[in-house]
Structure 1
């Protein structure tokens, strides 16, 4: 711990040396550069460095400790036990500094009570004869156990005649040193013998387990021998015993080369992703063959698998699990400016904090051999949930208006979402405008010929066609059958199809997790 003056001097030199920490350390020999920079920051922030009491004790704590010392028998130990602070040397310093010169604390290391030689002799005799124990003496005359044994050593002459004691000590040390050297040599020999025997026992135990494992794995009870085993059988035994022994220990016992072992292991290696491949194909098929590797990884993880996305991607390539993708010319409902222009309020901000805050709508076309089918959905920007939809063989006003009526029917009191569409004629006819005004909905329209202004709805159409429409042939399917499959896909899209942006949950599951749906 550095004092205030030392820290102040270091900071002043740091400023003087153009903030060269290395120069200050070389000059003063303290502190490290990190601590110096911390002192400098404190100096800049507060205009000065803090001043600490020793060990962080306040002046009130110090005064309380000295006062307790005076009022309770002037005992350092009693004061420290009662207050829990500080250490006895520090308390002694406080007392020495604060009290007058005639009031000093008792010195440590010096007995308060002086005992006569006769008292010491009586105490030693009573303990040596077994008449009393050191504990009993401590209770009677207030002397500690260690003091009794110190008196014993003094009275029996163990401390007297230091010259004789030194000579005797040197002779005993010399004798003990020679004996220690001899004992060490014998101990080393015994340790070597023990290690040799342990190694031999381990080798015999390993050979025994090799034969037992061979009989267990290879089902050979009679006539089994290491020399009669093939390299493949030896590799199987080594693989079974690697938990107890290392490969370097097992190979010599089986008379097998390291390269031969690894060759056999590679030859016996099975596809560890066999079960994963099967689950992957099932998940891909159950989800209309439209999940990429990220969503497949999310489903596999939710099922308890710990496989990574990279492995999922590689297995998809190996299993030829490809999501169909075909780009077709999109349907356009623009018929010219039929009503006054409407402002683009949404301005490509498709984020919504709550359901029924921003809606998107458009019309898309499906061309199958049996005819054309048109779909008009209402998509919620909150989570992509399809609030309502209608489909038919003609993109007329009735299809669009009925879709709007169904969507309005799902609203709660006080909900008036913004509805964004393109500049199609369906959204500029009087029937649509009247319904919007009656429900209190706000209209918003894209710029002319600018599909990115309604990209979120276009994205829904793209996913729908890639996952449901372009992935199969529609020969032999009627209009009614196609519409039923279209409805089935949208139900699946709302309730089961996971979205990574929703934490690998479907829109309905996401709303339930937030308590917004039952």
Structure 2
């Protein structure tokens, strides 16, 4: 039912003025202050359906499934304009056509129009089990055309709909007429069998869900060669049906797609663009192997276009090659562009109180701290944070971690603070790394009543003692070995720092090790 803003007589008057040839659309639109597209729509509807189209109780004509598909295919071909298409197929409005197009491109089942049922056809009737099975079989064979099944077997639309749903959920047992017989009347054996069947169906459903969601994780949009929107779901249904012998109906229900859409995908032929993409991808893989993986998407595009130009084929864009290489997870082995990291905001900065005075009169008077990067395995990184005492050069505390984050530095300073006596409050010097300028680090320093000092910008010599220790460690231990695992690297660090503190004798410490020199002071 359609409601119009203008009276019927007014619309018919303008239509007749145009059809007589006295007025053009432009002249009528200007004179009566109506948009030209509105007038064109009125004329088109009048020519297709006559005056009845402007009655408030007018109902559009019914369309068969074949008529709808033909109209959609004409629309997608691009040979007709929207107005020509509606006039050719006698479609009352463009909204109706666009609904059909949306269903078709979304792989939803297009059915006959659901209008035109008489009152006698909507009344249900009593049926036997064999009739119900026959009706369900007829409906499924005709792509779930409930209206056609209701008309053919003289039953109501609702009956057919309910029988099909019960059959899909429970099979033939769902079509049994159990009215008048309650579960209390069943025998113990019958109840036991029903419970076993229910558990088996539930287990099958849970197994199907578990397997399906392993294949299709979440609702994220994945980059694929095909333009089908639910390609991954259809592929998962096909694979699980063939390998695990699961029901198509059950898998489609879990995937949230109709069976008709799945079968339509199964029978579809790849588009010309998909076939070209597959051909390009094969060429990319072959070329990638030939050049030992040194080509990125730019050189790959240049090379492929040279071959296509010699074969008189159209050239391809860099972006297309980039997308195809991304789908196939093909990357160049040459160096990558370094990531640009956003600098953390500086929350606290201290003065350079140490001022390159690298000597101390007693233990735990001046500390220096820093973090260094170490590599192990196949390009993996670890980070070592340490604190050195300027009195004897001993390592007070150290921590090794996978990430250069705040927690690495916080653990190091807390471990060092635990070694202090109540009357010891050393000066702690560091560079201006984001960990040392953070608010939390400042709170830890203040809580222990320590004095904070920081190097000047670009002056790494201000933190020379800890930098000197990194140099000794890497020359005497790290660069002399290779480390296949994180544990091997950690063990090597523990061994060296123990050796450095206890057995690395130094001339400036009178031939003693750092901890021996420290013990003399105590």
TM-score range for the pair, normalised by the shorter chain length: 0.3 to 0.5
TM-score, reference length from structure 2:
0.34
TM-score, reference length from structure 1:
0.34
Higher Cα radius of gyration: 1
